[in-house]
Structure formats: structure tokens, C-alpha cells
């Protein structure tokens, strides 16, 4: 859910926390500690007895990993509640409307089918979670920030940063609070200086999985001594197999997230 869909920060905070795994058990205490206030004070604020200060609201934005536009919107909500005159409230309401419209404009930007710039590629292939989150948004039930956090166990501030990048490049599209892969075509050339980083990032992720592999996964390593002709035969088999995998993958319904690493290396 997005802060821009709310005209009161209290239900946003409560609903965001309740949407977390285990209904956000212990999350309010973490928020209170981040804001450097007692948990009872946070309860009073969320129940309407007290109000956030601007300093506390800024800390809350930091906790949720808000970008600049989201932070400004939250601060305006707090200022609106604390405003003492109708003139100030009217001004703040206009600012809130402007910020909401700007957020819709940014979400609606779909660059269309294009290749990423070199700068965008450097970010996208810098770590596995960029391509991982992008792929996960194709699976129903994992198309919002809270679901992505619950699936990968990544910090909210990191997930928000990745999603902001994916939406800004058109890799993801946000509609009605849900994310899905965009129409951007992504291709990393075999001779790209980023290819090593991309492969090593996912191979490191594979190493993390090895101790806890399930029956639906497989890991295989086999150093071997064979003839040059047979080595070339195996390479060709792998190439053909990858083509077959892609033929299966492309029309397959998006239900589960896997990643495939293949190495065929001469030592």
C-alpha cells in the first residue's frame, strides 16, 4: 500500500504493520524505538490522542524507507493535523493533492520497450535482489512491498529503493497498489563488463542455498577429465538444453520463483 492512498497517516501505519508476516508482531515496538519514543506514546498517537512531531514523522519516513516525495507527503499530513488556521489547512490540502498527482505521474511513466542505459544496467546487475525482486513481481501474491519483504526477508528501505528504480526504468509497472513486470526488454551482452558481477551475484546466492536445499532443488558439481571432442559435445548439449528451458519458461504461468546457474568451465 502507498502513503499517497491515505489522507491520514494513522491508518496507513496501522494497516502497513498489520499486513506484515505474523500481523506485524513486535513491529510497533521497533517503530517506537526508531522514533525514540515510548511504545505507549506511539499507541496514543495512532489512536488519535496525540500527534507526531515533524521530527518524529521524519524518523517514521526513514523507518519505512520513503523516498523524497513520500516523505514530503507524510510531513504534510502531520502538518495538516497540527495546523491552527483554515488558511494553512487549505494550503496544505492543495500541496497534498499536488503531491498525489505527481506520484501518479511518476507511476504512470512507462518508457516502453527499450534496452537499459549503461548506468541503469550497472545498478540492475549490481546485486541479485534487483533481478530477483523484478522476477518476483510476476507472481500473484507477491506484488507489493510487504509481500516482497516477507518473501526475501530484506529491509524495507532496501526494497523501497529497488522498487523505485524498477518503476522509474519501466522494468516494473505499479497499478492500483500492485506491481508487475513492465515491457522493458533487458539483455546483457556476453562481453559486457557487468556479466561477471551478474553471474557471481547469483552464484553466491546459490551457495547460500546449498545447506538447506529441498527436494525441488538440485545442485551438481563434477570435475572431470574427457576428450576435447566430448567437451564440445557437452557444451552444445548445454546450449540446446538452455533453448529448451526457455521454450518451457516463456509460456509457463508465474507461480514460483527459481533461478538457474550453469557452469561448464575448462580448468
For 232-255, how does the pLDDT look when each residue is reduced to its tens digit (9 = 90+)?
999 889 888 888 888 898 888 888
For residue 74, being part of any structural domain is answered with yes
What per-residue confidence (pLDDT) applies to 200? 87
Quick one: average pLDDT of 78-104? 91
Which CATH number covers residue 22?
A: 1.10.260.40
For residue 39, being part of any structural domain is answered with yes
For residue 196, being part of any structural domain is answered with no
User: What does the pLDDT look like over 148-161, one tens digit per residue?
Assistant: 999 999 998 899 88
What cell was used for 177? 497498489
**Average model confidence (pLDDT) across the chain:** 85
CA dist list (Å): 36 to 42, 56, 60, 184: 10, 8, 10, 42
For residue 35, being part of any structural domain is answered with yes
d(CA 169, CA 68): 18
d(CA 51, CA 36): 15
Instruction: Provide the number of structural domains found in the chain.
Output: 1
Domain holding 75, by residue range, is 3-107
For residue 150, being part of any structural domain is answered with no
Quickly state the pLDDT bin for 1 (edges 50, 70, 90). low
Amino acid at each position: 500500500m502507498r502513503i499517497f492512498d491515505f489522507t491520514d497517516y494513522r491508518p496507513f501505519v496501522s494497516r502497513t504493520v498489520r499486513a506484515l508476516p505474523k500481523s506485524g508482531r513486535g513491529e510497533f515496538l521497533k517503530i517506537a524505538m526508531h522514533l525514540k519514543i515510548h511504545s505507549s506514546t506511539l499507541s496514543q498517537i495512532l489512536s488519535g490522542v496525540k500527534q507526531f512531531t515533524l521530527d518524529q514523522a521524519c524518523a517514521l519516513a526513514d523507518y519505512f524507507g520513503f523516498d523524497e516525495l513520500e516523505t514530503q507527503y507524510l510531513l504534510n499530513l502531520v502538518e495538516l493535523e497540527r495546523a491552527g488556521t483554515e488558511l494553512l489547512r487549505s494550503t496544505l490540502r492543495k500541496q497534498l493533492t499536488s503531491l498525489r498527482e505527481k506520484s501518479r505521474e511518476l507511476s504512470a511513466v512507462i518508457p516502453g520497450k527499450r534496452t537499459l542505459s549503461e548506468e541503469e544496467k550497472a545498478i540492475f546487475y549490481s546485486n541479485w535482489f534487483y533481478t530477483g525482486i523484478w522476477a518476483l513481481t510476476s507472481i500473484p501474491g507477491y506484488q507489493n512491498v510487504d509481500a516482497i519483504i516477507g518473501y526475501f526477508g530484506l529491509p524495507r528501505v532496501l526494497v523501497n529503493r529497488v522498487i523505485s528504480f524498477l518503476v522509474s526504468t519501466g522494468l516494473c509497472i505499479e497499478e492500483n497498489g500492485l506491481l508487475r513486470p513492465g515491457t522493458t526488454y533487458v539483455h546483457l551482452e556476453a562481453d559486457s563488463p557487468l556479466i561477471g558481477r551478474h553471474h557471481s551475484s547469483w552464484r553466491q546466492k546459490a551457495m547460500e542455498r546449498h545447506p538447506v536445499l529441498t527436494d525441488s532443488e538440485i545442485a551438481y558439481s563434477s570435475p572431470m577429465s574427457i576428450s576435447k571432442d566430448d567437451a564440445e559435445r557437452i557444451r552444445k548439449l548445454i546450449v540446446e538444453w538452455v533453448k529448451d528451458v526457455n521454450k518451457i519458461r516463456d509460456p509457463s504461468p508465474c507461480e514460483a520463483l527459481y533461478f538457474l546457474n550453469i557452469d561448464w568451465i575448462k580448468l
